[in-house]
Every structure is written in structure tokens, then in C-alpha cells.
Amino acid sequence: MENKITKDWFVGFIEGEGNFHVGLSNTKNNPGYPFDTYPFLQFRIFLREDDEEVLQLIKEFLGFGNIYKKSLKYNRDRGFKAMDQCNFVVGNSKDLLKLKDILSDSCLFTKKKKDRKLFFKILDMKIEKKHLNEEGYREMLSLIGGLNSGERGNFKPGNNRKLYFAK
């Protein structure tokens, strides 16, 4: 029994737990950038804090990425089931390119396959500085809209929150 992560294990694990995320940060205080939002890419794995060890193993296996802790006290205070989290995050383009390379010869089987494809296409566009011109920026926004699409399309925050926080 080999006590080490293999690539296939890693791929299987991220099919369930990995998240290819492109956020849009507000650029109000960034007058040098021509658009309202600035796309930033993150590959993330969110686990409960009692599984931090596996994130350390993943970090060692990949050779990059960072681990952060996140308190979910806010949620607990509101009566929700929520243990603190530990998050593994790869955020810089150099490491994301390494991740792309590591995954390049791996087949994904879940709908994460589509997310991987979109995510690395957006990464390539950003590296090519397409987020700096109107046409490229619009195309990137459109691709971002298709990322993790089921989740976003299916989530109606207003509706949920009304129920969540009703007293």
C-alpha cells in the first residue's frame, strides 16, 4: 500500500472536490484598467479543517499552491452546520500553467471536464492579455458565464436567503 498520492488519485479527487473558479474583482480603485471588473483565476479545493493533511499532501504532490484556513463561525452563529474550512488555492498564472500541464494527459469523467477546458482557455486568454481589450474582455466574460454553469444557473440567492435568515 503506497502511502503517496498518485496522479490518477489526484484527478479522481478533484473531479469531486476541485473547483475551477474565475472571479471578477471590482476595479473602481484601479483607474488604469478600462473595465468594471478584472478577471482573476483560481483553482481551489475546499475541505473541512480536519482534512487539512490531505491538502498538504496535494501541495507536496503538485509542488505549488497555498493552504488557507477559513472560519465559518458566522454560519454557525446562525444555526448552520459548518465546521471551519481549509482551502487549497492556486492563483498565479505560472502555477496554473503547471497545473494545466499536469492535467493535460488525464481524462476527466464528470462535468468538471468542461470546467477545466473553459478555465484554461480563459487562462490562456489572460496570459495573451486579451482582458485588456474590449473584444477579448467580452469573450472572457462569456466564457466565465459558462463555468460551473449548473451551480450558477440553479442558484437563486435571493430566494434562498429569504428562507435562510427568516426569523
- CA geometry: angle 10, 13, 18, nearest 5 deg: 100
Which of 30, 34, 36, 48 is the binder for a copy of itself (CB under 8 A)? 48
Q: Does residue 70 interact with a copy of itself by CB under 8 A?
A: no
Q: Is 166 in the site for a copy of itself (CB under 8 A)?
A: yes
Give the DSSP H or E segment for 34.
Answer: none
Is residue 9 at the binding interface for a copy of itself, with CB under 8 A as the rule? yes
Pick between residue 83 and residue 132 the one whose CB is nearest to a copy of itself.
83
| Of 105 and 134, CB closest to a copy of itself | 105
Using rule CB under 8 A, residue 85 touches a copy of itself: no
Q: Which is nearer to a copy of itself, 78 or 121 (CB)?
A: 78
Neighbours of 142 (CB within 10 A): 9
What letter would DSSP give residue 147? T
Question: What stretch of H or E contains 3?
Answer: none
| Cβ atoms of 89 and 65 closer than 8 Å | yes
Residues paired with 26 in a beta bridge: 37
Residues of 76-106 as b/e, b for ≥16 C-beta within 10 angstroms?
Answer: eeeeeeeeebbbbbbeeeebbebbeebbeee
Interface with a copy of itself includes 109 (CB under 8 A)?
yes
- Residue 107 binds a copy of itself, judged by CB under 8 A: yes
Q: Which is nearer to a copy of itself, 18 or 39 (CB)?
A: 18
> Does the protein bind a copy of itself through residue 121 (CB under 8 A)?
no
Q: Which residues bind a copy of itself (CB under 8 A)?
A: 1-17, 47-48, 50-51, 53-54, 57, 78-83, 105-107, 109-111, 150-151, 154-156, 159-160, 162-167
